[in-house]
């Protein structure tokens, strides 16, 4: 049984592990942190120098396990044992929109294909070579999966291969990179464990995964990262967001950070809200007369002391203050992130209408403290069969649903994109138990 610390080798990526300005994130990080907490030990999670170093580190004992979105393959089974699978993914060929879309292996012969060195994609291509003998590729040991996608989008290479779960997140940051076709069978993702006659670690990890699967904890973690479906992908919107991230946000980033500190709010959430409201345009005006970066109404601006709604500093700080005031109205017993999303919905449609939706949720046997369940009932605020009997009456209940959905997407992209900017890879990251970290 582990004592003292739980050492985990990983890689930097949106589905595995990354560390932003305030908190560690990633599916593998959350799972590893949960297991360390389960054992009552500290988590020591480090980014391997290169992806292919993960397996030797497990063999030598430098790491107890590898948790890096690892595909379960027969070749890897020769090196390590695998714990219970926690995702099923497809491996996808990625190309650049505007170029000819490949539809089969033969089409890849016409371009430059680069894949992550030491990855399961190499074994996949070696098998594909039996079918297409002229298939060639380059194993890239220097660039990450994300950097390879970026190279495709910039036209520096023609193709790469990416796990579907990772591309589901990265496509919003690289909207000109597209899926051409899937290659190979569906693949299981699992932690890699050392080959040993002592099965205690394997049994302990299996018990942990069984518990979080049965209690819904695993699905909750996955839902935090994969809340969008294919139907939600907005190519034009994602492309505009990335463009504005580079061209507009830098001028206002410090204002968002300052407002976040003063309002006890993650600045990236305020920035996501401002993008949804105005696309970071301080002079924006809606048809209903609300205006400015945070689209404040006159009564709201007057209440929080904003004199000039088109002033970026005033609007951003005012929006932060107003969100903080709304947050204080949401019962403290409600856990995160539900409490935040209820507050963001109230920022949009009004606290009273969110309360009415919570009343409807409870009357139907649902959980009024769950954002997902309240989200389902908000559209009923437009139904006369309901709003005629509610304290606050009619509201366009579908609007806060779309509002929060969009902000969740922007917030997630911002967390990843700003983490890339500020992440300093020193190959070590030690997680200490704290309420603040656990809240992430």
Among residues 30, 81, 114, 277, the one annotated as catalytic is 277
Q: Two tokens at 173?
A: 């940051």
Q: Is 203 a catalytic residue?
A: no
Contacts of 168 (CB under 8 A, 6+ apart): 226, 228
173 and 417 Cβ atoms separated by less than 8 Å: yes
Contacts of 247 (CB under 8 A, 6+ apart): none
Return the ∠ at Cα 146 (arms to 92 and 33), rounded to 5°: 100
Q: Measured between alpha carbons, how far is residue 60 from residues 77, 195, 243 in Å?
A: 16, 11, 45
192 DSSP β-pair partners: 66, 82
Question: Residues, the chain, total?
Answer: 440
Q: Which of 108, 32, 17 is nearest to 63 (CA)?
A: 32
296 and 306 Cβ atoms separated by less than 8 Å: yes
Contacts of 34 (CB under 8 A, 6+ apart): 208, 212, 217
Q: Two tokens at 419?
A: 């983490």
Cα 434 from Cα 282, distance rounded (Å): 37
Rounding to the nearest 10 degrees, give the CA dihedral for residues 360, 364, 367, 371.
-50
φ, ψ for residue 10, nearest 5 deg: -145, -170
Cα 368 from Cα 350, distance rounded (Å): 16
Pairing of strands 429-431, 42-47: antiparallel
341 and 404 Cβ atoms separated by less than 8 Å: yes
Annotated active-site positions, please? 277
């Amino acid at each position: 049984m582990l004592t003292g610390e739980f050492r985990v080798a990983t890689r930097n990526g949106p589905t595995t592990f990354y560390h932003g300005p305030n908190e560690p994130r990633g599916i593998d990080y959350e799972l590893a942190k949960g297991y360390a907490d389960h054992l009552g030990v500290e988590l020591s999670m480090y980014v391997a120098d290169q992806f292919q170093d993960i397996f030797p580190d497990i063999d030598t004992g430098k790491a107890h396990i590898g948790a890096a979105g690892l595909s379960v393959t027969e070749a890897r089974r020769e090196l390590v044992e695998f714990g219970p699978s926690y995702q099923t993914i497809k491996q996808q060929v990625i190309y650049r929109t505007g170029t000819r879309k490949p539809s089969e292996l033969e089409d890849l012969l016409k371009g430059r294909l680069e894949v992550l060195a030491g990855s399961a994609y190499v074994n996949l291509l070696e098998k594909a070579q039996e079918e297409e003998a002229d298939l060639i590729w380059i194993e890239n040991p220097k660039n990450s999966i994300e950097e390879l996608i970026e190279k495709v989008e910039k036209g520096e290479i023609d193709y790469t291969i990416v796990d579907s779960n990772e591309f589901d997140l990265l496509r919003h940051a690289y909207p000109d990179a597209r899926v051409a076709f899937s290659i190979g069978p569906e693949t299981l993702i699992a932690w890699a464990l050392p080959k040993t006659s002592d099965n205690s670690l394997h049994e302990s990890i299996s018990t942990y995964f069984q518990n979080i699967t049965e209690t819904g904890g695993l699905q909750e973690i996955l839902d935090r990262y994969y809340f969008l479906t294919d139907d939600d992908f907005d190519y034009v919107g994602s492309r505009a967001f990335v463009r504005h991230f580079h061209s507009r946000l830098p001028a206002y980033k410090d204002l968002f950070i300052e407002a976040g500190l003063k309002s006890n709010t993650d600045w990236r959430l305020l920035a996501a809200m401002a993008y949804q409201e105005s696309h970071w345009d301080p002079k924006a005006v809606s048809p209903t007369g609300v205006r400015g970066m945070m689209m404040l109404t006159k009564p709201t601006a007057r209440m929080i002391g904003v004199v000039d709604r088109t002033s970026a500093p005033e609007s951003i700080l005012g929006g932060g203050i107003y969100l903080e005031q709304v947050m204080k109205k949401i019962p403290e017993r409600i856990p995160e992130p539900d409490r935040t999303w209820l507050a963001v919905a109230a920022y949009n449609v009004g606290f009273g209408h969110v309360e009415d939706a919570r009343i409807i949720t409870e009357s139907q046997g649902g959980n009024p403290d769950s954002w997902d369940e309240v989200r389902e009932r908000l559209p009923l605020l437009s139904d006369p069969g309901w709003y005629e009997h509610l304290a606050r009456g009619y509201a366009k209940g579908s609007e806060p649903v779309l509002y929060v959905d969009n902000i969740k997407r922007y917030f997630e992209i911002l967390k990843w994109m700003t983490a890339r900017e500020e992440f300093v890879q020193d190959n070590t990251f030690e997680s200490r138990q704290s309420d603040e970290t656990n809240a992430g």
